[in-house]
Chain A
């Protein structure tokens, strides 16, 4: 059990008010989370007491900063269950981690005719870098294929089996969808790969999972795993790429410059050892060090406790949302398959309008395509609204959210809802339930 009230005291921002004295209800945690005071203090302490460039000074400050920076590598290694510090590379964010992979794997391992598998529920950051790789390799030389999702918004594992062939070189997949909340079974995917007699590399986008559940890089049996500090109580500007050491060693560097070299001559260069080979230039020292404090904080609370609390919040919210029977909720029906994220649309109020109205009540949610346009297309919806939780959210906050939602629907006249519901039923059978024909908002309102 979490003592949420006590935890909330660590987050000054959670005590602020919005507009005229509405308490902040922050439900946009999938976009970024808030930072506890320990993280903020670490930043201040670094800048006030030992700010220096790392790996290149003999003076005391440089030594302290270098030690603090490298200690965080160790913390990340333990946090994520990697085998050694060499398996941990610091980047700017998940997006950069995946770009690094797409560039470097593309240079080192891919040839014309190869295939890359993604899923239909990917964030743009796990789509666009692969398209860029394909386009760099010359049009049509590399194929990108999508593993479909099923009616329950889960990955269709049987299709995955069929899609893997000898040309498949990379499978890059999200661990948890930032729209559906669906948690994909990475172990199952690695088993499927193993039994396929082919050996594509498995890349996991853990941006939405690493902050919310206990992960082990070793147990997941993937080759690479990427996540962002800012989605797990840490500062912005720090990402992690975990990867198997032997692969890192075979891969060509991504960015070139200082730090990533062993030797530079008038003729050429020799790259540094891993992981520094992938950390060109002065890294984000302060934020990496503060990310270490975020990891300490999360471990103190316990990832299992975080998961459990979010599961309860998810169940509670899904239950409360039932009263809006015109609402279309995306994601698996079973709360434990879709922890912490609830995305919805409705035929009456557009997600932007919902978000604006909720904001007036102090409730922060996200509206839009959530950087997943292909998925939106698959769901036949232009935009959706999303509430996403973290361990500091309370049941009372969910009540405020539901209350504000009620007011938003009232505002746009519930009468119209009822009419429309009848219309929809007549037109599409139970379109609202199976969702295949989720209607666009505006055109259906007559």
Chain B
């Protein structure tokens, strides 16, 4: 959706809350989610689901030199969980495990309103802040991230970075 339709959208729907939730960047990630290409090798994987609503995500990691080389996501979910997964794929590629975990923690803190001294730069993920106003949807935003942490759980030994 280009600028034009964005303008139209704002005129047609005077629902500022919605525009805060469905930021353009979120809709873009939803329409064309990243991290959908298959991996050559799966080092860690986990499946996450939100039993309340049926959202499901499968997340696979391929590591190289203690860094996340590639991420693959699959499943189905709402725009928020899909966009969040797509952003995860972008953000965590090339990161070490502990860097990735730190990002995950910062996102959770943001969603749960825990203030940090310096506002961290979370890139696209900051668009998810609008979800806070819709408490039932916070779980959707965090699903890919909890699944990511799940994939690493029990594999703490790889965390030598």
User: Could you tell me which A residues sit within 8 Å of B by CB distance?
Assistant: 19, 349-353, 356-357, 360, 367-369, 373, 376, 382-383, 407, 410-413, 416, 440-443, 445-446
A356 proximity list for chain B (CB < 8 A): 18, 21, 134, 137
Q: Is B59 an interface residue (CB 8 A)?
A: no
A352, A411, A445: which has the most chain B beta carbons within 10 Å? A352
- 29 pairs across A/B with beta carbons < 8 Å? A19-B17, A349-B79, A350-B82, A351-B53, A352-B53, A352-B78, A352-B79, A353-B78, A353-B79, A356-B134, A360-B18, A369-B53, A369-B54, A373-B54, A382-B55, A382-B77, A383-B54, A383-B55, A407-B12, A411-B13, A413-B1, A413-B5, A413-B27, A442-B30, A442-B33, A442-B76, A442-B82, A443-B36, A443-B76
Report the minimal beta-carbon distance from A403 to chain B, rounded to whole angstroms: 12
Interface string of B22-52 (1 = CB under 8 A from A): 1000010011110010000000000000001
Min CB gap A235→B, angstroms: 24
Which residues in window 68-84 of B have CB below 8 A to A?
74-80, 82
- Docked-complex contact A410 and B1, CB < 8 angstroms: no
Known A352-B78, A373-B54, A446-B32; 15 more pairs at CB < 8 Å: A350-B76, A350-B77, A350-B78, A352-B80, A352-B137, A356-B21, A357-B18, A368-B53, A369-B54, A383-B76, A411-B13, A411-B22, A440-B76, A441-B76, A442-B76
A351 is contacted by which of B13, B78, B82, B134 (Cβ under 8 Å)?
B78
**How distant is the Cα of A352 from the Cα of B78 in the complex, in angstroms?**
6
Bound Cα distance A352, B27 (Å): 14
Taking CB atoms, residues of chain A closer than 8 Å to B87 are none
| Residues on A with beta carbons closer than 8 Å to the beta carbon of B1 | 413
Is the pair A411, B55 in contact by a Cβ cutoff of 8 Å? no
> Is B15 at the interface (CB under 8 A from chain A)?
yes
Tell me if B140 counts as interface (CB < 8 A to partner A). yes
B9 at the interface (CB under 8 A from A): yes
Q: In the complex the two chains form, is B32's CB within 8 Å of A382's CB?
A: no
Is the beta-carbon distance between A350 and B79 smaller than 8 angstroms? Answer: yes
**Please, which residues of chain A bring their CB within 8 A of the CB of B15?**
360
Separation of A367 and B52 alpha carbons in the complex (Å): 10
A376 and B54 contact, CB distance less than 8 A: yes
Q: Which residues of B contact A440 (CB under 8 A)?
A: 76
- Residues of chain A with a CB closer than 8 A to B80's CB: 352-353
CA distance A411 to B1 in the complex (A): 10
Which B residues are in CB contact (< 8 Å) with A352? Answer: 53, 55, 77-80, 137, 140
Bound together, the chains give a CA A219 to CA B115 distance in angstroms of: 63
Q: Which of A350, A440, A446 has the most CB of B within 10 A?
A: A350
Give Cα distance in the complex from A446 to B22, angstroms. 18
B5: chain A residues at CB < 8 Å are 413
A383 to B33, CA, bound (A): 19
Q: How far, in angstroms, from A66 to B15 measured CA to CA in the complex?
A: 52
A360 to chain B: which residues have CB within 8 Å?
15, 17-18
Residues of chain A within 8 A (CB-CB) of B31 are 416, 445-446
CB-defined contacts of B36 to chain A, threshold 8 Å: 443
Query: B33 — which chain A residues lie within 8 A by C-beta?
Result: 442
> Hey, what's the 0/1 contact readout for B76-99 against A, CB within 8 Å counting as 1?
111110100000000000000000
Cβ contact within 8 Å between B77 and A442: yes
B 1-23 contacts with A by CB, 8 A: 1, 5, 9, 12-13, 15, 17-18, 21-22
**Nearest Cβ distance between residue B3 and chain A, in whole angstroms?**
14
User: Do residues B18 and A383 form an inter-chain contact, with CB atoms below 8 A?
Assistant: no
Q: Which residues of A contact B32 (CB under 8 A)?
A: 445-446
CB distance from B73 to the nearest CB of A (A): 10
Inter-chain CA distance A443–B57, complex, in Å, is 12
* A437 CB to nearest chain B CB (Å): 14
Contacts of A376 in B (CB 8 A): 54
A410 in contact with B12 (CB, 8 Å):
yes
Q: How far is the CA of A446 from the CA of B30 in the complex (A)?
A: 9
Knowing A356-B137, A360-B18, A442-B33, the reply to whether A368 touches B52 (Cβ < 8 A) is: yes
Q: Which residues of B contact A369 (CB under 8 A)?
A: 53-54
Verify A382–B76 contact, CB threshold 8 A.
yes
| Residue in A368, A411, A443, A445 whose beta carbon sits within 8 Å of that of B18 in the complex | A411
Q: How far is the CA of A368 from the CA of B33 in the complex (A)?
A: 21
A103 to chain B, nearest CB (A): 24
Q: Which of B27, B31, B78, B140 has the most CB of A within 10 A?
A: B78
Please tell me if the beta carbons of B30 and A445 are within 8 angstroms of each other in the complex. yes
Query: In the complex the two chains form, what is the Cα distance from A410 to B52 in whole Å?
Result: 27
* Across-interface contacts of B82 in A (CB, < 8 A): 350, 442
In whole angstroms, what is the CA distance A19 to B134 when docked?
A: 12
* Distance, CA A412 to CA B78, complexed state (A): 12
Residue of A nearest to B22 (CB): A411
What 10 A-B pairs have minimum CB-CB distances, sorted nearest first? Answer: A352-B78, A369-B54, A350-B78, A440-B76, A368-B53, A383-B54, A382-B76, A442-B82, A382-B54, A353-B79
Complex formed: what's the CA distance from A367 to B5 in Å?
27
